[in-house]
Amino acid sequence: PQATAAYNRDVFLHRKQLKKFKAGDTVQFRVKLSRDGLPQAMKLRETDQVVALEPEAPEEPKPKEKETYIGEIKSFNIMN
């Protein structure tokens, strides 16, 4: 929810970043903007943290790419 709120859209996860994770897993990740300016999850890691139910308002108008987010992998299409 934090990254979705910061970028006003879901964050894309490329299959190369998926590694051992699956839909339903909670992960820590960073966001990099694609060539099209869309948010893409990078550097996924395991986490024991819980996904916040209410997204926090971003402190700055534009999110920083080096910021770390916690989120749940909602779904994944192996073909993309």
Q: How far is CA 13 from CA 25, 57, 60, in A?
A: 13, 23, 24
Sign of the torsion formed by the C-alpha atoms of 36, 60, 67 and 21: negative
pTM attached to this predicted model: 0.76
pLDDT score at 49: 83
pLDDT score for 8: 92
pLDDT tens digit at each of 80 positions of the chain? 788 888 999 999 998 899 899 999 999 999 999 999 999 999 999 998 877 665 555 555 466 667 899 999 998 777 75
